[in-house]
């Protein structure tokens, strides 16, 4: 791109990233956000890291692999400073940061890179919420970019940085293992590259350095409040009841926001098909590994997009430079008297572009204020039911909706919950018990007595509700969202 047009290039990049920010502005009402807030509040108040459950009566006192502790404290402090608005702006800022790293990581013509970025962002908003997982997303993007830079001969990035990087990651979110999967794919892939095409492969010394420092980084992750329990967390998560939690289900490709992973797969086929370069082993292992996880569980779609998009951009750039550019464009020879127009004032263009972006930013900020208004934050939550419980103080154990568990932990700390979003803590057995009770099976009705439950707060349409009156329960509250029964 001619130097005189650089201000316009910066404008389109800024406009695209501002669009990313706008799309990922969300009303902060994720079901898990609430227990993260309560966890952060408790740790700040007690000046102590929580390593045992204090929020439920079904797992009270059990060891809790609290790998979110540092993120939870940060999320709570953000909320204390700026309320829900600060949480929404934080999420959008992280999403924009992720896309900025991906854009920096992606080679090729700017239009291809920005187009891929817009495709990728379609799949992100559903997964962007004030939860520690978004920190895993940006750390994965940074790691992938860092490993690419490490391979380049002109970038001297020390491999020992893996140790503090993963120690930090392991104290922010349990998704640290995605980083090690990426690292393993690069080490194995570059080893295969070295054996098959040494000219394009990472040097043996650098491969050994990655393996050595990566192994030490794995050992370093035990520097966390839960110790070795951290290593078991990914396996616990994979064993929970998949039918109970939507994010563990496979993608539904009838939804547009799930389709970008298909588009990226097709675009990689196009890129490798038209390029004269075969896909190398490291890229193949990364792409297939993260694609497999994305097909198994929706929650793995953002990691796949983060890893796949720079790769797709690279192979499309190869195809464009090697075969497509000369076919699409037929530049005419430029005579000696030809010259580029010189009337454009780059400083004036920069000023105008900046003003336009500032105007759009003002609109985006107003949108954030609207999205974080209390009526939007609490719109899908049983706020009136919680107020009734606070006013009437019913006695006994509370059985609750899974999706409302975190909100009840935040608003009703004096009533321990039956279950909430910490799937690794509760496990399959309790998930099944919760399902039996909610659906009103014979076993579930017996479990109400076994757990000595005296209060039920569920959605009005829960299958259990019609069976309660014949069992001596009394309805004490009902609105358009929820119902409360006691005995």
Statement: residue 58 has pLDDT above 60: yes
Give the pLDDT band of residue 449 (cuts 50, 70, 90).
very high
pLDDT at position 17 is 87
pLDDT at position 341 is 47
Distance from C-alpha of 107 to C-alpha of 85, rounded to nearest angstrom: 35
For all residues of the chain together, what is the average pLDDT? 87
- Residues paired with residue 417 on neighbouring β-strands, in sequence order: 56
Statement: residue 9 has pLDDT above 80: no
| CB 15 within 8 Å of CB 99 | no
How many Cα atoms within 13 Å fall on the side-chain side of residue 202?
26
Please give the residue that has the higher pLDDT: either 212 or 260: 212
Q: What is the mean predicted confidence (pLDDT) over 62-88?
A: 95
pTM for this prediction:
0.88
Q: What is the mean predicted confidence (pLDDT) over 59-65?
A: 94
- Residues paired with residue 322 on neighbouring β-strands, in sequence order: none
**Joined tokens for residue 1:** 């791109």
Distance from C-alpha of 360 to C-alpha of 334, rounded to nearest angstrom: 39
In three-state secondary structure terms, 483 is strand
DSSP secondary structure code for residue 414 in this structure: T
pLDDT at position 33 is 95
Q: What is the mean predicted confidence (pLDDT) over 186-190?
A: 95
260-303 pLDDT, tens digit per residue, is 889 999 999 988 888 878 888 999 999 999 999 999 888 889 99
Statement: residue 343 has pLDDT above 60: no
Q: Which of 6-15, 87-96, 258-267 has the lowest mean pLDDT?
A: 6-15
- For residue 153, how many other CB atoms are within 10 A of its CB? 7
Residue % of the chain over a pLDDT of 70: 89
Distant-in-sequence, close-in-space partners of 290: CB < 8 Å, separation ≥ 6: 181, 182, 300, 303, 304, 307, 308
Q: What is the mean predicted confidence (pLDDT) over 380-405?
A: 95
Distance from C-alpha of 196 to C-alpha of 199, rounded to nearest angstrom: 9
Statement: residue 118 has pLDDT above 90: no
> Which of 118-132, 248-262, 335-349, 368-382 has the largest mean confidence?
368-382
| CB 117 within 8 Å of CB 99 | yes
Is residue 457 within a helix (H) or strand (E), and if so which, with residue range? strand 453-459
Distance from C-alpha of 116 to C-alpha of 172, rounded to nearest angstrom: 29
Q: What is the mean predicted confidence (pLDDT) over 73-98?
A: 95
| CB 438 within 8 Å of CB 244 | no
Statement: residue 401 has pLDDT above 80: yes
Residue extents of the structural domains in the chain: 3-30+65-328, 381-486
Give the pLDDT band of residue 398 (cuts 50, 70, 90).
very high
pLDDT at position 326 is 54
Residue % of the chain over a pLDDT of 90: 59
pLDDT at position 156 is 73
Give the pLDDT band of residue 7 (cuts 50, 70, 90).
low
pLDDT at position 249 is 79
């Amino acid at each position: 791109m001619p130097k005189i047009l650089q201000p316009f290039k910066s404008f389109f990049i800024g406009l695209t990233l501002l669009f990313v920010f706008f799309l990922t502005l969300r009303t902060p009402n994720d079901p898990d956000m609430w227990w993260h807030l309560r966890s952060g509040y408790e740790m700040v108040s007690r000046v102590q890291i929580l390593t045992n459950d204090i929020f439920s009566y079904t797992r009270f006192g059990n060891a809790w692999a609290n790998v979110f502790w540092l993120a939870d404290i940060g999320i709570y402090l953000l909320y204390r400073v700026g309320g829900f608005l600060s949480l929404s702006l934080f999420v959008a800022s992280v999403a924009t940061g992720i896309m900025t790293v991906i854009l920096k990581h992606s080679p090729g013509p700017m239009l291809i890179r920005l187009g891929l970025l817009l495709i990728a962002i379609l799949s992100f908003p559903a997964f962007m919420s004030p939860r520690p997982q978004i920190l895993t997303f940006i750390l994965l993007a940074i790691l992938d970019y860092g490993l690419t830079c490490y391979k380049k001969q002109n970038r001297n990035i020390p491999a020992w940085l893996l140790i503090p990087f993963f120690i930090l990651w392991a104290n922010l979110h349990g998704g640290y293992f995605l980083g090690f999967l990426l690292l393993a794919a690069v080490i194995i892939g570059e080893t295969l590259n070295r054996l098959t095409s040494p000219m394009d492969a990472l040097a043996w010394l650098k491969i050994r350095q990655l393996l050595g420092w990566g192994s030490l980084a794995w050992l370093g992750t035990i520097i966390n409040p839960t110790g070795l329990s951290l290593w078991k967390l990914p396996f616990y998560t994979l064993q929970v009841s998949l039918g109970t939690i939507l994010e563990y289900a496979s993608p539904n490709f009838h939804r547009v926001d799930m389709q970008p992973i298909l588009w990226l797969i097709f675009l990689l086929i196009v890129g490798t098909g038209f390029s004269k370069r075969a896909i190398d082993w490291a890229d193949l292992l990364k792409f297939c590994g993260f694609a497999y996880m994305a097909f198994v569980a929706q929650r793995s779609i953002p990691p796949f997009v983060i890893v796949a998009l720079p790769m797709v951009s690279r192979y499309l750039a190869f195809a464009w430079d090697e075969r497509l550019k000369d076919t699409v464009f037929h530049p005419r020879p430029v005579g000696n008297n030809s010259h580029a127009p010189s009337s454009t004032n780059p400083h004036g263009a920069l000023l105008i572009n900046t003003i336009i972006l500032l105007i759009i930013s003002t609109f985006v900020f107003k949108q954030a204020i609207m999205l974080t208004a209390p009526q939007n934050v609490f719109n899908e939550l049983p706020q009136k039911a919680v107020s009734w419980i606070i006013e009437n103080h019913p006695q006994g154990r509370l059985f609750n909706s899974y999706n409302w568990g975190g909100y009840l932990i935040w608003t009703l700390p004096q009533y321990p919950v039956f279950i909430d979003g910490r799937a690794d803590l509760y496990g399959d057995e309790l998930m099944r018990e919760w399902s039996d009770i909610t659906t009103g099976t014979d076993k579930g009705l017996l479990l109400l007595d076994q757990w000595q439950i005296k209060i039920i707060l569920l959605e009005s349409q829960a299958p259990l509700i019609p069976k309660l009156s014949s069992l001596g329960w009394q309805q004490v509250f009902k609105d358009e969202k929820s119902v409360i029964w006691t005995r």
